[in-house]
Amino acid sequence: MKAAIVVFPGSNRENDAKAALTQAMGSEPVMVWHRDTTLPKVDLVLVPGGFSYGDYLRCGAIAANSPVLREVKARAEAGMAVIGVCNGFQIITEAGLLPGVLLRNANLKFVCRNVGLRVETSNSRFTSGYKKGQVLSIPVAHHDGNYFADARTLDELEAEDRIAFRYCGPEGRLDANYNPNGSTRHIAGILNKKRNVLGLMPHPENAIEPLHGSTDGKALFQSLVEAVS
* Range 175-185 average pLDDT: 97
* Range 67-73 average pLDDT: 95
Q: Which pLDDT value is given to residue 92?
A: 98
Mean pLDDT, the chain, integer: 96
Would you say how long the chain is, in residues? 229
Output the CA–CA distances (angstroms, integers) from residue 202 to 66, 86, 90, 139, 206, in the order listed.
24, 6, 12, 6, 9
Q: Which residues are catalytic?
A: 86, 203, 205
> Which of the 8 DSSP states describes residue 104?
P
The single-letter code of the amino acid at 8 is F
* Range 206-221 average pLDDT: 96
Q: Which pLDDT value is given to residue 57?
A: 83
| pLDDT one-digit tens code per residue, 82-125 | 999 999 999 999 999 999 999 999 999 999 999 999 999 999 99
Q: Which pLDDT value is given to residue 215?
A: 98
Q: Which stretch of DSSP H or E encloses residue 92?
A: helix 87-94
> Which of the 8 DSSP states describes residue 64?
G
Output the CA–CA distances (angstroms, integers) from residue 84 to 77, 88, 133, 175, 203, in the order listed.
15, 4, 22, 25, 10
Confidence grade of residue 174 (pLDDT, cut at 50, 70, 90): very high
Q: Which pLDDT value is given to residue 26?
A: 95
DSSP string, 181-194: S--GGGEEEEE-TT
Confidence grade of residue 27 (pLDDT, cut at 50, 70, 90): very high
Confidence grade of residue 137 (pLDDT, cut at 50, 70, 90): very high
The single-letter code of the amino acid at 131 is K
pLDDT at 229 over 80: no
Q: How many CA atoms lie within 13 A of 48 on its CB side?
A: 27
Confidence grade of residue 69 (pLDDT, cut at 50, 70, 90): very high
pLDDT at 35 over 80: yes
* Range 51-63 average pLDDT: 92
Q: Which pLDDT value is given to residue 91?
A: 98
Q: Which pLDDT value is given to residue 197?
A: 98
Confidence grade of residue 56 (pLDDT, cut at 50, 70, 90): confident
* Range 133-137 average pLDDT: 98
Output the CA–CA distances (angstroms, integers) from residue 171 to 19, 27, 35, 138, 181, in the order listed.
30, 36, 44, 15, 19
Q: How many CA atoms lie within 13 A of 189 on its CB side?
A: 30
> Which of the 8 DSSP states describes residue 217?
T
* Range 44-65 average pLDDT: 94
What is d(CA 34, CA 67) in angstroms, rounded to the nearest whole number? 7
The model scores a pTM over 0.85? yes
> Which of the 8 DSSP states describes residue 124?
S
Q: How many CA atoms lie within 13 A of 19 on its CB side?
A: 12
* Range 37-64 average pLDDT: 94
